[in-house]
Structure 1
């Protein structure tokens, strides 16, 4: 089947999206396109040198895997800095290509708008996506506290819930909720100044400002807003300089009664390298978590998506998707997109049997499995250690605890024997491993912070 560059990239993006937070997906993939496909090499056009380096070092394997899943002849992906071309370049393509595209059309203009990345209209002044609103946010028992707190700060910026810290697993709607706050605040009289920034973008801006002596301008930019929304704050724990700059910006806004809204994939106490002065400030406001959606809520989310997109999908198909993907709302939407796009490209009706075939690989993806090396790597990264420190005989407190957690995960998730775990982790006696596993198991009953840490480590283990 003939497939244009745009169609290839749109399908690849639906695969890539489920591996990233929504904020990072928009930040790094919004202005990308396939510029060429020749001799098994896909050439990806990116907006600037910073994006080129970031995609090559951080997301190359996701990009290559996604493109290969669609076109098995692809061997590699290359990156060039080029002008982003919007979808209207379709009119300039040769007639031969247009005929083939029309035969495999994706349907109405509304369908194209909802199922491609091309039409995401990010506000350049606020970085907000106008599609994220309270009206399109599904509320259930798993997120009602976070939703109520978010609604509350809209009515009273800089009031009692300042800062508001919302945390939860990947793909559960944190980005949607915090951007909905920003979009709602923009409706207020007086035009409040709102700025939404993913943490990785903030870090990039700080690096660039330091290299160009522009820190003064950068600080003024952040200090002038009425509502600052920071997404994925857990990444800021990587360097002391980033934490220092954010600390000063935070203090200035807080002392001026400006609202600060923060999201994270974990509780502040579970961010291992976060400075105590930042942690205490985050905990000084309101902390709300977003849990996992139940079956009925997942179904409601899917129905809302189909209504928004103007697509008719049989209810049995929606139930199948809801039962197949239980822990990630973004994956739910990605699976729905994949089913609808595939049926449109093949010009086939959406049926349960076809859906099972399209999503067959979802249940078999390697992210569902882990290994000894992955457990060690993820535990070490989470607690900001070297893998070698977990294996060595060090008795330092900051090493002993993560080592016990690694032992627990190896026992619980890999069913490794106690002697095997002891031999691999510092040549410990098997009784030491038994003690560690019992200790962690017992503590999990009364320590929600430890439970959150292990959940975050597991999430990372199964996403690699």
Structure 2
């Protein structure tokens, strides 16, 4: 354009231009102002309490409760209300990666800080405890280290599985634990497996871990996963269509952090491309994330086949009208897993099981959930079928 103007005028010219940004673009005189998400890279430092090392965002109010974590949350609330005064000492919370153990652990600390006028809460990880202990030895400063971890009302230690095979660290923690316990102070621990499976820990330390209450957190079901994503969007004051949270929750089943990471990626994609969050955009933005989530496409027929093999009930009987206890029980498990894994509608599940209505499917899902709470053998069997289907 500049060269053509020079040719036409025979003079050296300079062209200055600007873009007028406005809310409306319909008149052709302005570019529509893009919608931006300003909170994608908030300053995380404001969320932390420097004294206790707690993240202020980890509270009981922000924790989404489901059937997978009800007992763990109830025990955590009880401990936070009366630290050191219940039989839940120590409280050990175990479960897989990204299921909310750290959230509950820090929620306990934040609740204690909120309730007590002069609280002394200390949060650490087993790795940080080990590093600080080694540093204390090297600097001949063991007394300061001991005081930091023992001069507290509540000690919170994350990921104690990393104490395995670290004998000196275990010895130090054993004495720290004993000192706190004998003075009626609260200890809360998290680990990725049941303490009895923590090989490489000294027996006397294991016995201390098992002397209080041990609770587990399981992978959340579909409804809980959706609720977690909706809660996250609500906290960040974002409007995410339900079908998009359902898309993420259906495809990422085992890890809450991975779900939240997918949500952040979607928001970033929407912000940087100046686009509204729609289903086509979500599928484009999350194509790689959902593809590597470790899940595979599972149909209701796949569920029926797996349940049939695992529970030794013919497929025809699973979808038939038989009411024998073993057949009806297996059918309920198949309906439950269809809802949990396939994530399709209640009506569609009912159609696959002899044209039953949605209320029958709801009843089956509730019945299986209740039975799994009471019967550990059933829970293990259902978990085994789920693992086979998903992986």
TM range (shorter): 0.5 to 0.7
Whole-Å separation in 2 of the counterparts to 1:447 and 1:211: 52
Contact 1:123 1:129 survives alignment (8 Å) = yes
Q: Residue 262 of structure 2 is aligned with which of 335, 340, 349?
A: 335
**Bigger radius of gyration:** 2
Structure 1: how far apart are the matches of 2:34 and 2:268? 10
User: Offset of 1:189 from its aligned partner?
Assistant: 3.4
Report the counterpart of residue 104 of structure 2 in structure 1.
177
The match for 1:166 is 93
Match of 2:250 among 323, 326, 336: 323
Supply the RMSD in Å over aligned alpha carbons.
Answer: 2.9
> Normalized against structure 2, the TM-score is what?
0.66
1:437-448 paired onto structure 2 within 5 Å: none
Cα separation, partners in 2 of 1:447 and 1:212, compared to 1, 3 Å = farther
Partner Cα separation in structure 2 for residue 343 and residue 261 of structure 1: 40
Aligned pair partner of 1:121 in 47, 50, 53: 47
Q: Does 1:142 align with 2:68?
A: yes
**Which runs of no fewer than 5 residues in structure 1 stay unpaired?**
1-98, 370-444
> Is 2:226 the counterpart of 1:299?
yes
**Shift of residue 108 of structure 1?**
5.2
Distance 1:295 1:128 in 2: 29
Q: Distance in 2 between the 1:367 and 1:324 partners?
A: 9
User: Judging changes above 3 Å, is the alpha-carbon distance between structure 1 residues 122 and 238 closer, same or farther for their aligned structure 2 residues?
Assistant: farther
- CA 1:304–1:266 in structure 2 vs 1: closer, same or farther (change >3 Å)? same
User: What SS does structure 1 have at the residue aligned with 2:230?
Assistant: helix
Counterpart-to-counterpart distance in 1, 2:116 and 2:288: 50
CA, structure 1 residues 448+248, in 2 after alignment: closer, same or farther (shift >3 Å)? farther
Are 2:216 and 1:286 aligned?
A: no
Equivalent-residue separation in structure 1 for 2:246 and 2:285 (angstroms): 15
TM-score (norm 1): 0.56
3-state SS in 2 of match to 1:289: strand
Q: Distance in 2 between matches of 1:338 and 1:120?
A: 22
Seen in structure 2, the aligned counterparts of structure 1 residues 105 and 121 have a Cα distance that, compared at 3 Å, is farther
Aligned pairs, number: 277
- Distance verdict in 2 for CA 1:351–1:279, change over 3 Å: same
- Select 1:228's aligned residue among 125, 146, 155: 155
Equivalent-residue separation in structure 1 for 2:35 and 2:152 (angstroms): 41
Q: Distance in 2 between matches of 1:275 and 1:106?
A: 56
Q: Structure 1 residue 130 and structure 2 residue 59: aligned?
A: no
Quick one: distance in 1 between partners of 2:34 and 2:166?
48
SS in 2 for 1:261: strand
Asked if 1:217 is matched to 2:129, the reply is no
Report the Cα distance in structure 2 between the residues aligned to 1:237 and 1:259, rounded to whole angstroms.
22
Tell whether the 8 Å contact from 2:35 to 2:275 is kept in structure 1 after alignment: no
Could you tell me how far 1:106 is from its partner in structure 2?
Answer: 7.8
- Return the alpha-carbon distance in structure 2 between the equivalents of residues 296 and 342 of structure 1: 25
For structure 2, list consecutive stretches of 5 or more residues without a partner in the other structure: 1-20, 22-31, 297-375
Q: Distance in 2 between matches of 1:155 and 1:363?
A: 40
Aligned pairs for 1:355-394 within 5 A = 355-365=282-292
